[in-house]
Chains A and B, each alone.
Chain A
């Protein structure tokens, strides 16, 4: 964790346990059909998201973070992608069972999406104003003029100066950080209840990243929006999230309150990840960073064993034969592992 991120205050968790979740995902499974067989990209992911809560989803590349979120809105190319099972309740409506017209309404109006690369997510030949007014006119049925006014206000809201005069500009006239702000404004245009941010700061430099983080924190406070934040930056998650879901091989291997996760990481994968972070204090110069041996799984095998077992220092026979499910360790901490890392012994069966 870097000093800058330690400075950032962790938002108090507003006791979510009692309330109904805004978004509730159960047993989501997504497969890709390829000529070489099915790729099991998402294997039974589930999570709850409460109002005003920020859920951090971490994991290395290819762990299924993005595919999970894209599946929720059916934004994956289908075929080859295929949602095998699952349920995603938003306001009592199952997103995965919606008809196309209703789904279009949910996209944008109820769930906003921010993509990783602001350079590629805006259409280069359409003005920013057009792209911002598009969701407003589609979902809220605003007139051209009203939509423009609202779009200018939105741009102002995400910190773009002289917003009104910049509506006619094209994406290439904006810098990377500005484009990501435009993307955020687009995602927020219709006041969605849930915002899914897919590595929104990965393509940006550190200063801009801090600005975008602050911006989203502010918007979340002002609007009480629930946010799913996909990242592989554990430092960002520590400073931002209320709860964290660690993913590996298309599964959730650990799900916990952010403090609990960093204080008492349970899963060997999470522990290795945290060990792999560079430290500011301590550690002699020239010391190599810890790394996790081996490669991420290819996911062509059906998930019948713990996906992390081949790389796990504690793996034993059961890990290669049975896939552990998430089980509670404490009230706000769940882990899917046959090995009790704290006690140093296998869990009782």
Chain B
């Protein structure tokens, strides 16, 4: 009979109810992960600033004040102004909304696609070859010509259907999503291939578990770690890709500030007003870093082996 030193520690939370205690355990583990907690703090701060900031700092990001161009930080313009006299802080706040939305949505699409393809390819031998060749094909596709074609084909119809902003948003998110799922798919497939041969999967089959349930309850939770990591990296990637698209004139229109666009526009004026590069760059870096830490902490907290006794 094994000694159970953990028993006394976790007993109080057990008494309150089984289902809740599991999430309580996850939360307790997450709380003990200093990096994750700090990351969550920073990320919440950024999200809050982006969400309510424009209500406090009520300067129109599109307002041109040509007399006050290329200014340094001042009370009126805490982050200075650009070469057309637009307020940088207002632009960063407005741009954050789009950048964050694009980052998360695109990451989500890539994640779902990648996980789906990876699990199917790993679990069903018959689909493996086909799906992995498809993945290779997507990896080998020349991205820029593809993007040009897709945008030429769909921009106008999407704009007509959803309005200029939503239309472009959908287009950008969709394009980033379908061009960045391949790494996730490969990682997940590799893990599923290994997991499928594990004895606990045979054990689950031996008690008559359905295949769908084996995939969702036995395989998926075990590939959560790599999925989590590629998710956090995916957000960073999506934000950067969006800025590259905007830079090429394929993304949001020029008067539409996003972090990536601000960064690229500001790069030309780095010697005049370095703040124009610094702030959007800092915003992107902090977001990516904090999301990475959150993902790291979540992964550790969700894995019972790492959660510890």
Contact A75 B202, beta carbon cutoff 8 Å: yes
Contact A165 B217, beta carbon cutoff 8 Å: no
Contact A186 B209, beta carbon cutoff 8 Å: no
Question: In whole angstroms, what is the CA distance A79 to B221 when docked?
Answer: 26
Contact A167 B18, beta carbon cutoff 8 Å: yes
Q: Which of B4, B207, B218, B305 contacts A189 (CB 8 A)?
A: B207
Contact B14 A107, beta carbon cutoff 8 Å: no
Known: A123-B218, A178-B2. A168 touches B208 (CB 8 A): no
Asked if A223 is at the interface (CB within 8 A of a chain B CB), the reply is no
Most chain A Cβ neighbours within 10 Å, of B22, B205, B309: B205
Contact B1 A115, beta carbon cutoff 8 Å: no
Question: In whole angstroms, what is the CA distance A327 to B292 when docked?
Answer: 69
Contact A173 B200, beta carbon cutoff 8 Å: no
Interface string of B2-13 (1 = CB under 8 A from A): 101011000100
Q: Which of B14, B18, B208 contacts A138 (CB 8 A)?
A: B208
Known: A107-B208, A134-B207. A115 touches B304 (CB 8 A): no
Asked if A122 is at the interface (CB within 8 A of a chain B CB), the reply is yes
Question: In whole angstroms, what is the CA distance A116 to B203 when docked?
Answer: 11
Contact A138 B305, beta carbon cutoff 8 Å: no
Contact A120 B199, beta carbon cutoff 8 Å: yes
Question: In whole angstroms, what is the CA distance A13 to B7 when docked?
Answer: 44
Q: In the complex, which residue of chain B has the Cβ closest to the Cβ of A186? A: B207
Known: A167-B18, A174-B2. A123 touches B222 (CB 8 A): yes
Question: In whole angstroms, what is the CA distance A127 to B302 when docked?
Answer: 12
Contact B207 A107, beta carbon cutoff 8 Å: yes
Q: Which of B4, B14, B200, B303 contacts A123 (CB 8 A)?
A: B200
Asked if A311 is at the interface (CB within 8 A of a chain B CB), the reply is no
Asked if B204 is at the interface (CB within 8 A of a chain A CB), the reply is yes
Q: How many residues of B contact A (CB 8 A)?
A: 34
Question: In whole angstroms, what is the CA distance A75 to B304 when docked?
Answer: 28
Residues of B within 8 A of A116 (CB): 199
Known: A125-B222, A161-B1, A170-B305. A108 touches B208 (CB 8 A): yes
Contact B22 A168, beta carbon cutoff 8 Å: yes
CB distance from B111 to the nearest CB of A (A): 19
Contact A183 B305, beta carbon cutoff 8 Å: no
A sample of 27 inter-chain contacts (CB < 8 A) reads A70-B202, A75-B202, A75-B205, A104-B208, A107-B207, A108-B207, A108-B209, A113-B206, A115-B199, A115-B202, A115-B203, A120-B200, A123-B218, A124-B305, A125-B304, A134-B204, A135-B207, A135-B208, A138-B207, A138-B210, A139-B208, A165-B11, A167-B18, A168-B21, A172-B305, A173-B309, A186-B207
Known: A115-B203, A125-B221. 7 other contacts (CB 8 A): A107-B206, A107-B207, A108-B207, A124-B200, A166-B4, A168-B14, A172-B305
